[in-house]
Amino acid sequence: MTQSTNLQTDFQAILHNLEAARGQSIFLTTTQLLVWASKIFERAGLSSQDAMIMARTCVYPERDGALSHGLFRLPNYLQTLVAGNVNINAQPTVVQETPSLLVVDAQNGLAQPALQTVYEQLVQKTRETGLCVVLLRRAFHIAALWMDVEPLARQGFVALTCVNASSCVAPAPGTSAVYGTNPMAFACPREGHEPLVFDQASSLRARGDVMLSARAGEEVPLGTGMNSEGELTQNPKEILKGGALLPFGGYKGASIAMMVEILAAALTGGQFSWEIDRWSQPTPDTASAGQFLLCIDPTVAGQTMFAQRIQDLAQKLLDSGQSRLPGDLRYTTRAKTESEGIKVDADLLLGWYEQTNTGVNTSG
């Protein structure tokens, strides 16, 4: 029996369990959820390889408790794929290469498969020269960024990445959106422990978290954003409908958002956030954003005890009273869900399955 047949058999079993659980929640393992999500992406037109890559972008954050970037994002991906906003047949191309640089045109396709095509080159160049920079343009990326850097830290590297997106964040001071949430993620190895990893937006709150609050009918903290009149509001729907998010720390967060705009848009040759015309598309999510990724090998710089020094730093932080380190909460949640399973709404998953089909628009 081939792997494809095994996955199909597993999917049918999962589908049967979901049907039996209509109207209630059910616990699935990470593997089961990956099989289910990859099948959904295949039905939306992706190849089996790309479908599994995209399944991980939704399932792993859900497993780790990062719900704003977990299964919550799957409908956005499906709507975008079906509408033809993203080129599902994209063939990412390396348009410029040096011993420590890869400039990649994602051809208006998905960012994660595009990065995967140059991953081995990235690792090889980092080991050979001590560092490598990937500049990715014309890519669609609304996933958690830590997934792009944590695997590199597990290989002993220090990694930093950032992306821009369609504008929804005002500068400081400012009353209209110029930047995207412009998140960045960082990871590095830590001797005897999981890597140190953080993933954060330049805005006070990630747009996905504001969307979750809007869906739940909850207010957001004052300072999260403003309405279309430029007035502070705690109503997430007013922020999302013609308003703007605000950067964390005022001008300090705005400066970081500007830096991300320069690294992920100007340097990659991609579009600035305000140049991405999200409203002319069939759905408000479209490609054309950019991503900057820097990977460094500490050993090439002679830092053979780097991971131990990071552990010394981490211990000092804990001794000083810091209750947990970046990434700890995700690792704790990951261990729990790997043991107990991931709680999902059966009706929600079945609804997404029923909405997908193989007749999608492949232009992008």
Task: Dump pLDDT digits (tens) for 198-234.
Answer: 999 999 998 888 988 998 999 999 999 999 999 999 9
Does the pLDDT of residue 361 top 50, yes or no? no
Question: Domains in the chain, start-ordered, CATH in brackets?
Answer: 3-83+341-355 (1.10.1530.10), 93-203+247-301 (3.30.1370.60)
For the question of residue 273 being annotated catalytic, the response is no
Position 84 scores a pLDDT of 82
Query: What is the pLDDT at residue 363?
Result: 40
Residue whose C-alpha is closest to residue 25's, from 347, 358, 313 = 347
Phi first, then psi: what are they for 358, rounded to 5°? -90, -10
Per annotation, catalytic residue among 38, 50, 68, 285:
68
Residue 2 confidence class, pLDDT cut points 50, 70, 90: very low
Q: Which listed residue (50, 64, 148, 209) is catalytic? A: 209
Local confidence band at 37 (pLDDT 50, 70, 90 cut-offs): very high
Catalytic residue among 69, 141, 199, 288: 69
176-190 residue pLDDT tens: 999 999 999 999 999
Judged by DSSP in three states, 236 sits in: helix
pTM, rounded to two decimals = 0.90
Query: Which of 142, 147, 146 has its CA nearest to residue 168?
Result: 142
**Helices and strands per DSSP (H, E), number in the chain:** 13, 12
Active site (annotated) includes residue 68:
yes
Q: What is the pLDDT of residues 104-149, one digit of tens each?
A: 999 999 999 999 999 999 999 999 999 999 999 999 988 899 999 9
Q: Quick check: 297 and 130 in contact, CB under 8 A?
A: yes
Joined tokens for residue 89: 């047949």
Weakest mean pLDDT among 9-18, 28-37, 110-119 = 9-18
- If pLDDT is split at 50, 70 and 90, which confidence band does 277 have? low
| 347 annotated active-site | no
Q: Express each pLDDT in 299-338 by its tens digit.
A: 998 999 999 999 999 999 999 999 999 999 999 999 999 9
Percent of the chain with pLDDT over 70: 92
